Amino acid sequence: MTAANFYKPLGLFGFICMFTPIIIALSGYGKMHCARVCPRGSLIGKIGKYVNLGLKRPKLYSEKWFRPLVWAVMMGSFIVMLILVIPQGIFALGNAILIFMEIATVLAILNGILFTPRQWCTICPMGYTSGNLRNLRKKLIHQPAKQEVTV
């Protein structure tokens, strides 16, 4: 994604970031992506170790509706963005995905600095998606995740 700042079509690799947690969750490994694979989660964990104000997180974060709302806003805007940008070609699409990923990373870093290092992970749309897929898979095939990992 860093290289995509210099060559926009590389932003398409952002799709790998988005589909990897889904594939891992559907394969029965639950949220292993969050604990072992996600570069953003790893980055904010490391930054937060050194730069962290440790403020009390707003009550909003504990509300049941907040996480689905963040998910809906981010996924909704991503889909609208795809619809608008795909006809403009690969450079515009790569750039749009790059901007989207970088906005999420900035939000994640800000949350990590202000509250706890991995605060973002409590509302992250991809973490929410993979958690729901894990639960859905458990319900459908009555089989626990192969390796239960929590973040």
Q: CB-wise, 93 or 120, nearer to ligand SF4?
A: 120
Return contacts of 1-4, CB within 8 angstroms, 24+ apart. 1/98, 1/101, 1/102, 4/94, 4/97, 4/98
Minimum Å gap between C-beta 88 and ligand SF4 is: 28
Minimum Å gap between C-beta 43 and ligand SF4 is: 9
Distance between CA atoms of 94 and 74, rounded to whole angstroms?
17
Distance between CA atoms of 75 and 72, rounded to whole angstroms?
5
Q: CB-wise, 12 or 107, nearer to ligand SF4?
A: 107
Residues forming the site for ligand SF4 (CB under 6 A): 21, 34, 38, 40-41, 108, 120-121, 124, 126-127, 151
Q: CB-wise, 10 or 151, nearer to ligand SF4?
A: 151
Q: What is the DSSP letter of 39?
A: H
